[in-house]
Amino acid sequence: MPPPVEDDWSDSDDDVLDEIETSVTLGVPDGQITSQTDLSDAAVSRLGGLPAFLASREPSYSSSQCKVCSNPMELLAQMWCPFEDSPMDRALYIWGCARAQCQKQKGSIRAWRALRYNAEYAAKLEKKREKEKARVEAKKEKLQKGPLPNPFSMSAASATPNPFGLGSHIFGEATPAKQETPSEKDDESAGEDGESDDGSSSSEQSLLTAMTSATLEDSPWRQTLSYPPQYLKTFSEYIAPEPKPKIPSGAQIIDDNDDSKGGKDMGWSEQYENSLDVDHVFERFSNRVKHEPEQCIRYDLNGVPLPFSTDNVFNLLFPAPATPPLPVTKPDFMVIHAAKRTYDPSSLPPCPNCRSKRVFECQLMPNTINVLRDSSAHATKNMSDEERRKAVQEALKGGGGNRGMDWGTCMVFSCEKDCCTENGQDAREAWKEEHVLVQWDV
Protein backbone atom coordinates (compact mmCIF):
# COMPACT_ATOMS: atom_id res chain seq x y z
CA MET A 1 0.00 0.00 0.00
CA PRO A 2 1.48 3.38 -1.00
CA PRO A 3 2.23 5.84 1.81
CA PRO A 4 -0.25 8.68 2.36
CA VAL A 5 0.07 11.77 0.22
CA GLU A 6 1.64 14.77 1.91
CA ASP A 7 -0.13 17.89 0.67
CA ASP A 8 1.81 20.57 2.53
CA TRP A 9 3.97 21.25 -0.52
CA SER A 10 1.14 23.03 -2.30
CA ASP A 11 -0.45 26.43 -1.77
CA SER A 12 -3.77 25.13 -3.02
CA ASP A 13 -5.70 21.94 -2.49
CA ASP A 14 -6.47 21.98 -6.20
CA ASP A 15 -2.80 21.25 -6.92
CA VAL A 16 -2.77 17.96 -4.98
CA LEU A 17 -2.42 15.11 -7.46
CA ASP A 18 -2.34 11.36 -7.16
CA GLU A 19 0.95 9.74 -6.30
CA ILE A 20 3.14 8.41 -9.09
CA GLU A 21 4.50 4.89 -9.17
CA THR A 22 8.15 5.04 -10.20
CA SER A 23 10.34 2.33 -11.72
CA VAL A 24 12.16 1.93 -8.38
CA THR A 25 11.73 -1.02 -6.04
CA LEU A 26 12.36 -0.13 -2.41
CA GLY A 27 13.79 -2.48 0.20
CA VAL A 28 13.04 -1.99 3.90
CA PRO A 29 13.96 -4.08 6.98
CA ASP A 30 11.34 -6.64 7.97
CA GLY A 31 12.48 -8.27 11.20
CA GLN A 32 15.38 -10.44 12.28
CA ILE A 33 16.06 -13.74 10.51
CA THR A 34 16.14 -16.62 12.97
CA SER A 35 15.33 -19.54 10.67
CA GLN A 36 18.46 -21.49 9.76
CA THR A 37 16.79 -22.53 6.52
CA ASP A 38 16.31 -18.90 5.49
CA LEU A 39 19.83 -17.99 6.59
CA SER A 40 21.19 -20.68 4.25
CA ASP A 41 18.90 -19.78 1.36
CA ALA A 42 20.48 -17.54 -1.28
CA ALA A 43 17.01 -16.58 -2.49
CA VAL A 44 16.25 -14.82 0.82
CA SER A 45 17.30 -11.18 0.51
CA ARG A 46 18.73 -9.70 3.68
CA LEU A 47 20.47 -6.87 5.45
CA GLY A 48 23.53 -7.94 7.44
CA GLY A 49 24.14 -11.56 8.38
CA LEU A 50 26.45 -14.01 6.65
CA PRO A 51 26.36 -14.57 2.87
CA ALA A 52 24.51 -17.55 1.38
CA PHE A 53 26.32 -18.41 -1.84
CA LEU A 54 25.03 -19.81 -5.13
CA ALA A 55 28.14 -21.47 -6.51
CA SER A 56 29.04 -25.09 -5.82
CA ARG A 57 32.38 -23.79 -4.53
CA GLU A 58 32.66 -20.88 -2.15
CA PRO A 59 34.31 -17.76 -3.60
CA SER A 60 37.63 -16.62 -2.25
CA TYR A 61 37.43 -15.12 1.23
CA SER A 62 39.46 -12.19 -0.09
CA SER A 63 36.30 -11.00 -1.87
CA SER A 64 35.18 -9.44 1.40
CA GLN A 65 38.51 -7.82 2.24
CA CYS A 66 38.71 -4.04 2.49
CA LYS A 67 41.16 -2.67 -0.06
CA VAL A 68 42.32 -0.08 2.47
CA CYS A 69 43.04 -2.07 5.63
CA SER A 70 42.92 -5.61 4.12
CA ASN A 71 40.64 -6.79 6.94
CA PRO A 72 37.45 -8.73 6.19
CA MET A 73 34.36 -6.54 5.97
CA GLU A 74 30.85 -7.19 7.21
CA LEU A 75 28.09 -8.01 4.73
CA LEU A 76 25.78 -5.02 4.35
CA ALA A 77 23.20 -6.54 2.02
CA GLN A 78 22.48 -9.60 -0.09
CA MET A 79 19.80 -9.40 -2.78
CA TRP A 80 18.16 -12.14 -4.84
CA CYS A 81 17.76 -10.45 -8.25
CA PRO A 82 17.63 -12.82 -11.27
CA PHE A 83 16.99 -11.24 -14.65
CA GLU A 84 13.62 -11.85 -16.26
CA ASP A 85 13.56 -14.81 -18.68
CA SER A 86 17.16 -15.70 -17.82
CA PRO A 87 18.19 -19.30 -17.02
CA MET A 88 20.67 -18.01 -14.44
CA ASP A 89 20.07 -17.82 -10.70
CA ARG A 90 21.48 -14.48 -9.62
CA ALA A 91 22.35 -12.70 -6.36
CA LEU A 92 24.13 -9.47 -5.45
CA TYR A 93 26.39 -9.08 -2.39
CA ILE A 94 27.62 -5.79 -0.89
CA TRP A 95 30.30 -5.56 1.82
CA GLY A 96 31.37 -2.46 3.72
CA CYS A 97 34.19 -1.58 6.12
CA ALA A 98 33.20 0.22 9.32
CA ARG A 99 36.73 1.08 10.50
CA ALA A 100 37.21 4.81 11.00
CA GLN A 101 40.49 4.98 9.05
CA CYS A 102 38.84 3.43 5.98
CA GLN A 103 35.97 5.88 5.65
CA LYS A 104 36.03 8.07 2.54
CA GLN A 105 38.57 5.67 1.00
CA LYS A 106 38.14 3.88 -2.31
CA GLY A 107 37.76 0.13 -1.90
CA SER A 108 36.07 0.17 1.51
CA ILE A 109 32.72 -0.74 -0.13
CA ARG A 110 32.69 -3.68 -2.55
CA ALA A 111 29.95 -5.46 -4.52
CA TRP A 112 29.93 -8.90 -6.18
CA ARG A 113 27.55 -10.57 -8.61
CA ALA A 114 26.94 -14.33 -8.36
CA LEU A 115 25.46 -16.45 -11.16
CA ARG A 116 24.54 -20.11 -11.42
CA TYR A 117 22.92 -21.93 -14.34
CA ASN A 118 19.50 -23.34 -13.42
CA ALA A 119 18.97 -26.30 -15.75
CA GLU A 120 15.40 -26.99 -14.65
CA TYR A 121 14.29 -23.40 -15.16
CA ALA A 122 16.18 -23.25 -18.47
CA ALA A 123 14.15 -26.25 -19.68
CA LYS A 124 10.94 -24.47 -18.69
CA LEU A 125 11.98 -21.34 -20.58
CA GLU A 126 12.78 -23.39 -23.67
CA LYS A 127 9.44 -25.18 -23.47
CA LYS A 128 7.70 -21.81 -23.08
CA ARG A 129 9.49 -20.42 -26.15
CA GLU A 130 8.64 -23.51 -28.22
CA LYS A 131 4.98 -23.33 -27.20
CA GLU A 132 4.82 -19.64 -28.13
CA LYS A 133 6.49 -20.34 -31.47
CA ALA A 134 4.02 -23.15 -32.20
CA ARG A 135 1.10 -20.90 -31.30
CA VAL A 136 2.29 -18.17 -33.67
CA GLU A 137 2.83 -20.68 -36.48
CA ALA A 138 -0.62 -22.21 -35.96
CA LYS A 139 -2.25 -18.80 -36.04
CA LYS A 140 -0.35 -17.89 -39.19
CA GLU A 141 -1.36 -21.14 -40.89
CA LYS A 142 -4.99 -20.68 -39.88
CA LEU A 143 -5.06 -17.20 -41.41
CA GLN A 144 -3.57 -18.51 -44.65
CA LYS A 145 -6.09 -21.38 -44.99
CA GLY A 146 -9.23 -19.75 -43.61
CA PRO A 147 -11.85 -17.97 -45.79
CA LEU A 148 -11.74 -14.23 -46.05
CA PRO A 149 -14.38 -12.55 -43.84
CA ASN A 150 -17.20 -10.52 -45.34
CA PRO A 151 -16.31 -6.88 -44.57
CA PHE A 152 -20.05 -5.95 -44.67
CA SER A 153 -21.06 -8.62 -42.19
CA MET A 154 -22.19 -7.39 -38.76
CA SER A 155 -20.35 -10.23 -37.05
CA ALA A 156 -17.14 -9.39 -38.87
CA ALA A 157 -17.47 -5.73 -37.98
CA SER A 158 -18.00 -6.47 -34.30
CA ALA A 159 -15.00 -8.78 -34.27
CA THR A 160 -12.69 -6.15 -35.72
CA PRO A 161 -10.46 -4.75 -32.99
CA ASN A 162 -10.72 -1.06 -32.20
CA PRO A 163 -7.48 0.57 -33.41
CA PHE A 164 -7.80 3.11 -30.61
CA GLY A 165 -8.55 0.58 -27.87
CA LEU A 166 -5.14 0.65 -26.16
CA GLY A 167 -6.48 1.61 -22.78
CA SER A 168 -7.24 -1.91 -21.62
CA HIS A 169 -3.65 -2.97 -22.35
CA ILE A 170 -2.05 0.09 -20.80
CA PHE A 171 -4.01 -0.10 -17.56
CA GLY A 172 -3.81 -3.86 -17.31
CA GLU A 173 -7.49 -4.83 -17.51
CA ALA A 174 -8.14 -8.52 -17.65
CA THR A 175 -8.63 -9.98 -21.12
CA PRO A 176 -11.48 -12.44 -21.78
CA ALA A 177 -10.56 -15.96 -20.80
CA LYS A 178 -9.71 -18.22 -23.73
CA GLN A 179 -11.71 -21.44 -23.96
CA GLU A 180 -9.25 -24.30 -23.61
CA THR A 181 -9.68 -27.97 -24.23
CA PRO A 182 -9.03 -30.37 -21.33
CA SER A 183 -5.76 -31.46 -22.93
CA GLU A 184 -4.53 -27.86 -23.19
CA LYS A 185 -5.33 -27.28 -19.54
CA ASP A 186 -3.46 -30.42 -18.57
CA ASP A 187 -0.42 -29.26 -20.54
CA GLU A 188 -0.45 -25.90 -18.81
CA SER A 189 -0.82 -27.28 -15.29
CA ALA A 190 1.75 -30.07 -15.56
CA GLY A 191 5.43 -30.08 -16.39
CA GLU A 192 7.33 -32.50 -18.57
CA ASP A 193 7.49 -35.07 -15.78
CA GLY A 194 3.81 -34.71 -14.92
CA GLU A 195 4.33 -32.71 -11.72
CA SER A 196 2.22 -29.65 -11.03
CA ASP A 197 3.73 -26.17 -11.08
CA ASP A 198 3.31 -25.88 -7.30
CA GLY A 199 5.16 -29.11 -6.71
CA SER A 200 7.87 -28.18 -9.18
CA SER A 201 8.36 -24.76 -7.59
CA SER A 202 8.56 -26.36 -4.18
CA SER A 203 11.20 -28.82 -5.34
CA GLU A 204 13.19 -26.01 -6.99
CA GLN A 205 13.19 -24.04 -3.75
CA SER A 206 14.23 -27.09 -1.72
CA LEU A 207 17.07 -27.81 -4.15
CA LEU A 208 18.26 -24.19 -4.02
CA THR A 209 18.27 -24.18 -0.22
CA ALA A 210 20.03 -27.54 -0.05
CA MET A 211 22.78 -26.45 -2.41
CA THR A 212 23.43 -23.19 -0.57
CA SER A 213 23.40 -25.02 2.76
CA ALA A 214 26.37 -27.11 1.72
CA THR A 215 28.80 -24.57 3.20
CA LEU A 216 31.36 -26.21 5.48
CA GLU A 217 31.22 -25.18 9.11
CA ASP A 218 34.98 -24.59 9.23
CA SER A 219 34.81 -22.14 6.32
CA PRO A 220 36.28 -18.69 7.06
CA TRP A 221 32.99 -17.24 5.85
CA ARG A 222 31.29 -18.82 8.89
CA GLN A 223 33.78 -17.30 11.33
CA THR A 224 33.73 -13.69 10.19
CA LEU A 225 32.08 -10.86 12.11
CA SER A 226 28.61 -9.92 10.93
CA TYR A 227 25.63 -7.75 11.72
CA PRO A 228 22.46 -9.50 12.91
CA PRO A 229 20.59 -10.58 9.74
CA GLN A 230 17.28 -8.95 8.88
CA TYR A 231 14.74 -9.78 6.20
CA LEU A 232 14.48 -7.34 3.30
CA LYS A 233 10.91 -6.59 2.23
CA THR A 234 10.40 -4.97 -1.18
CA PHE A 235 7.63 -2.92 -2.79
CA SER A 236 7.21 -0.28 -5.49
CA GLU A 237 8.02 3.35 -4.78
CA TYR A 238 5.24 5.93 -4.85
CA ILE A 239 5.91 9.66 -4.73
CA ALA A 240 3.89 12.84 -5.00
CA PRO A 241 4.45 14.93 -8.14
CA GLU A 242 6.29 18.20 -7.82
CA PRO A 243 4.11 21.33 -7.64
CA LYS A 244 3.91 23.47 -10.73
CA PRO A 245 6.11 26.58 -10.48
CA LYS A 246 4.46 29.96 -10.12
CA ILE A 247 5.01 31.84 -13.40
CA PRO A 248 4.13 35.53 -13.79
CA SER A 249 1.27 36.12 -16.20
CA GLY A 250 2.44 36.98 -19.69
CA ALA A 251 5.94 35.66 -19.09
CA GLN A 252 7.71 33.73 -21.82
CA ILE A 253 9.39 30.51 -20.71
CA ILE A 254 12.66 29.41 -22.26
CA ASP A 255 13.57 25.82 -21.36
CA ASP A 256 15.32 23.36 -23.65
CA ASN A 257 14.74 20.51 -21.22
CA ASP A 258 11.36 18.87 -21.71
CA ASP A 259 10.53 17.36 -18.33
CA SER A 260 7.50 15.41 -19.48
CA LYS A 261 7.99 11.72 -20.10
CA GLY A 262 5.47 8.95 -20.38
CA GLY A 263 5.47 5.93 -18.13
CA LYS A 264 7.00 5.58 -14.71
CA ASP A 265 9.62 7.77 -13.07
CA MET A 266 9.03 11.15 -14.65
CA GLY A 267 11.87 13.05 -16.25
CA TRP A 268 12.06 15.62 -13.48
CA SER A 269 13.66 12.98 -11.30
CA GLU A 270 16.60 12.79 -13.68
CA GLN A 271 17.51 16.46 -14.07
CA TYR A 272 19.18 18.75 -11.57
CA GLU A 273 19.53 22.50 -11.52
CA ASN A 274 23.07 23.68 -12.09
CA SER A 275 23.24 26.15 -9.20
CA LEU A 276 25.98 26.93 -6.69
CA ASP A 277 23.78 28.77 -4.18
CA VAL A 278 21.96 25.77 -2.68
CA ASP A 279 22.75 22.07 -2.87
CA HIS A 280 19.63 21.18 -4.83
CA VAL A 281 20.92 17.61 -5.14
CA PHE A 282 20.80 16.96 -1.41
CA GLU A 283 17.52 18.84 -1.17
CA ARG A 284 15.98 16.60 -3.81
CA PHE A 285 17.50 13.51 -2.21
CA SER A 286 15.87 14.41 1.11
CA ASN A 287 12.52 15.17 -0.50
CA ARG A 288 12.54 11.87 -2.35
CA VAL A 289 13.49 9.80 0.70
CA LYS A 290 10.90 11.37 2.98
CA HIS A 291 8.16 9.51 1.10
CA GLU A 292 9.55 6.27 2.58
CA PRO A 293 12.09 7.10 5.33
CA GLU A 294 12.73 3.42 6.18
CA GLN A 295 14.13 2.60 2.74
CA CYS A 296 17.51 0.88 2.83
CA ILE A 297 17.72 -0.26 -0.80
CA ARG A 298 16.71 1.41 -4.04
CA TYR A 299 16.67 -1.12 -6.90
CA ASP A 300 16.19 0.17 -10.45
CA LEU A 301 18.02 -1.95 -13.01
CA ASN A 302 19.17 0.20 -15.95
CA GLY A 303 17.53 3.17 -14.27
CA VAL A 304 18.77 6.45 -12.84
CA PRO A 305 20.50 6.62 -9.44
CA LEU A 306 19.43 9.12 -6.81
CA PRO A 307 22.54 11.20 -5.98
CA PHE A 308 23.14 12.22 -2.37
CA SER A 309 24.91 15.55 -2.82
CA THR A 310 26.92 17.70 -5.21
CA ASP A 311 30.37 16.10 -5.28
CA ASN A 312 32.76 14.42 -7.72
CA VAL A 313 30.47 11.40 -8.12
CA PHE A 314 27.55 13.64 -9.00
CA ASN A 315 29.67 15.58 -11.51
CA LEU A 316 30.76 12.28 -13.05
CA LEU A 317 27.24 10.89 -13.49
CA PHE A 318 25.47 14.19 -14.14
CA PRO A 319 27.97 16.32 -16.11
CA ALA A 320 27.37 20.05 -16.34
CA PRO A 321 25.77 21.10 -19.65
CA ALA A 322 27.20 23.77 -21.89
CA THR A 323 26.00 27.24 -20.88
CA PRO A 324 23.77 28.76 -23.60
CA PRO A 325 24.13 32.47 -24.48
CA LEU A 326 21.72 34.82 -22.71
CA PRO A 327 18.94 36.08 -25.00
CA VAL A 328 18.37 39.79 -25.60
CA THR A 329 14.80 40.44 -24.47
CA LYS A 330 14.53 44.26 -24.61
CA PRO A 331 11.33 45.32 -22.79
CA ASP A 332 9.85 41.81 -22.59
CA PHE A 333 9.99 40.01 -19.25
CA MET A 334 11.37 36.50 -19.67
CA VAL A 335 11.86 33.59 -17.28
CA ILE A 336 15.01 31.60 -17.97
CA HIS A 337 15.28 28.28 -16.18
CA ALA A 338 18.61 27.28 -14.69
CA ALA A 339 20.63 24.84 -16.76
CA LYS A 340 19.82 21.26 -15.79
CA ARG A 341 22.00 18.19 -15.62
CA THR A 342 20.94 14.85 -17.08
CA TYR A 343 22.19 11.41 -16.11
CA ASP A 344 25.01 10.23 -18.40
CA PRO A 345 26.67 6.88 -17.50
CA SER A 346 29.09 6.96 -20.45
CA SER A 347 32.02 7.75 -18.14
CA LEU A 348 31.62 4.50 -16.21
CA PRO A 349 34.26 1.82 -16.87
CA PRO A 350 32.97 -1.13 -18.95
CA CYS A 351 32.67 -4.67 -17.67
CA PRO A 352 36.25 -6.03 -17.56
CA ASN A 353 35.06 -9.50 -18.57
CA CYS A 354 32.96 -8.90 -21.70
CA ARG A 355 33.61 -5.16 -22.29
CA SER A 356 29.87 -4.43 -22.24
CA LYS A 357 28.75 -1.19 -20.67
CA ARG A 358 27.75 -1.08 -17.05
CA VAL A 359 24.31 0.10 -15.96
CA PHE A 360 22.95 1.28 -12.65
CA GLU A 361 21.37 -1.53 -10.63
CA CYS A 362 20.86 -0.45 -7.02
CA GLN A 363 22.04 1.76 -4.19
CA LEU A 364 22.27 1.56 -0.41
CA MET A 365 20.54 4.33 1.52
CA PRO A 366 21.59 6.02 4.80
CA ASN A 367 18.98 4.15 6.83
CA THR A 368 20.98 0.97 6.17
CA ILE A 369 23.61 2.29 8.58
CA ASN A 370 20.97 3.01 11.23
CA VAL A 371 19.37 -0.42 10.89
CA LEU A 372 22.65 -2.33 11.04
CA ARG A 373 23.98 -0.20 13.89
CA ASP A 374 20.82 -0.54 15.99
CA SER A 375 20.53 -4.28 15.43
CA SER A 376 24.22 -4.73 16.24
CA ALA A 377 23.88 -2.78 19.50
CA HIS A 378 20.90 -4.90 20.51
CA ALA A 379 22.75 -8.11 19.68
CA THR A 380 25.79 -7.03 21.73
CA LYS A 381 23.67 -6.97 24.88
CA ASN A 382 22.78 -10.62 24.31
CA MET A 383 26.25 -11.88 23.33
CA SER A 384 27.49 -15.16 24.75
CA ASP A 385 30.87 -15.42 26.46
CA GLU A 386 32.37 -16.95 23.30
CA GLU A 387 31.02 -14.13 21.13
CA ARG A 388 32.38 -11.51 23.52
CA ARG A 389 35.78 -13.22 23.43
CA LYS A 390 35.83 -13.02 19.61
CA ALA A 391 34.90 -9.34 19.77
CA VAL A 392 37.78 -8.65 22.16
CA GLN A 393 40.21 -10.53 19.91
CA GLU A 394 39.01 -8.51 16.93
CA ALA A 395 39.63 -5.28 18.86
CA LEU A 396 43.14 -6.41 19.82
CA LYS A 397 43.91 -7.06 16.15
CA GLY A 398 43.01 -3.49 15.32
CA GLY A 399 39.50 -4.21 14.15
CA GLY A 400 37.82 -2.50 17.10
CA GLY A 401 38.09 1.03 18.37
CA ASN A 402 36.31 3.76 16.47
CA ARG A 403 33.87 2.10 14.11
CA GLY A 404 31.05 3.49 12.09
CA MET A 405 30.15 4.05 8.45
CA ASP A 406 29.47 7.60 7.33
CA TRP A 407 28.51 7.37 3.67
CA GLY A 408 25.44 9.00 2.16
CA THR A 409 24.74 6.40 -0.53
CA CYS A 410 26.55 3.53 -2.27
CA MET A 411 25.69 2.98 -5.94
CA VAL A 412 26.27 -0.36 -7.68
CA PHE A 413 26.72 -0.54 -11.46
CA SER A 414 26.67 -4.00 -13.04
CA CYS A 415 27.31 -5.59 -16.42
CA GLU A 416 24.46 -4.85 -18.80
CA LYS A 417 24.68 -8.33 -20.38
CA ASP A 418 25.03 -10.09 -17.00
CA CYS A 419 27.94 -12.04 -18.48
CA CYS A 420 28.81 -15.46 -17.12
CA THR A 421 32.29 -16.31 -18.36
CA GLU A 422 35.46 -17.95 -17.14
CA ASN A 423 38.74 -17.33 -18.98
CA GLY A 424 36.82 -15.86 -21.91
CA GLN A 425 34.50 -18.87 -22.26
CA ASP A 426 30.84 -19.27 -21.33
CA ALA A 427 30.46 -20.81 -17.89
CA ARG A 428 27.70 -22.25 -15.74
CA GLU A 429 28.78 -20.30 -12.67
CA ALA A 430 30.35 -16.90 -12.13
CA TRP A 431 31.57 -14.66 -9.33
CA LYS A 432 32.29 -11.15 -10.63
CA GLU A 433 33.07 -7.89 -8.87
CA GLU A 434 31.01 -4.91 -9.98
CA HIS A 435 31.65 -1.17 -9.93
CA VAL A 436 30.75 0.83 -6.81
CA LEU A 437 30.57 4.61 -6.44
CA VAL A 438 30.21 6.03 -2.94
CA GLN A 439 29.00 9.48 -1.96
CA TRP A 440 30.28 10.16 1.53
CA ASP A 441 28.46 12.07 4.22
CA VAL A 442 30.05 15.44 5.04
pTM above 0.75, yes or no: no
Q: DSSP secondary-structure letter at 414?
A: E
End-to-end Cα spacing for the chain: 34
Q: Letter for the amino acid at 403?
A: R
| pLDDT at residue 219, rounded to an integer | 87
Q: DSSP secondary-structure letter at 271?
A: E
Q: DSSP secondary-structure letter at 258?
A: -
Q: Which of 379, 380, 376 is nearest to 404 (CA)?
A: 376
CB 378 within 8 A of CB 427: no
Q: List Cα–Cα distances, 173 to 159, 164, 169, 397, in angstroms.
A: 19, 15, 6, 61
| pLDDT at residue 212, rounded to an integer | 53
| pLDDT at residue 19, rounded to an integer | 84
| pLDDT at residue 334, rounded to an integer | 63
φ, ψ of residue 104 in degrees (nearest 5): 65, 20
CB 317 within 8 A of CB 344: yes
Distance separating alpha carbons of residues 392 and 377, to the nearest angstrom: 15
- Cβ-based neighbours of 209, under 8 Å, separated by 6 or more: 37, 40, 41, 43
Distance separating alpha carbons of residues 296 and 29, to the nearest angstrom: 7
| pLDDT at residue 21, rounded to an integer | 93
Domain locations in the chain as residue ranges: 25-126+224-235+281-323+334-439
Distance separating alpha carbons of residues 62 and 418, to the nearest angstrom: 22
Distance separating alpha carbons of residues 403 and 376, to the nearest angstrom: 12
What's the helix, strand, coil split of the chain in %, to 5?
Answer: 30, 25, 50
Per-residue pLDDT of the chain (442 residues; tens, 9 = 90+): 555 544 443 344 444 457 899 999 999 999 999 999 999 999 999 999 999 999 788 999 999 999 999 999 999 999 999 998 899 999 999 999 999 999 999 999 999 999 999 999 888 988 888 888 888 878 887 887 766 556 555 554 444 444 444 343 333 444 444 444 444 444 544 444 444 555 555 555 555 555 554 455 678 999 889 999 999 999 999 998 877 666 666 555 444 444 444 445 444 345 666 555 568 899 999 999 999 999 999 999 999 999 999 999 999 999 998 776 666 666 566 666 667 889 999 999 999 999 999 999 999 999 999 999 887 766 655 556 665 555 545 544 444 455 789 999 999 999 999 999 988 889 999 999 999 999 998 7
| pLDDT at residue 150, rounded to an integer | 61
| pLDDT at residue 200, rounded to an integer | 53
Distance separating alpha carbons of residues 437 and 440, to the nearest angstrom: 10
| pLDDT at residue 135, rounded to an integer | 85
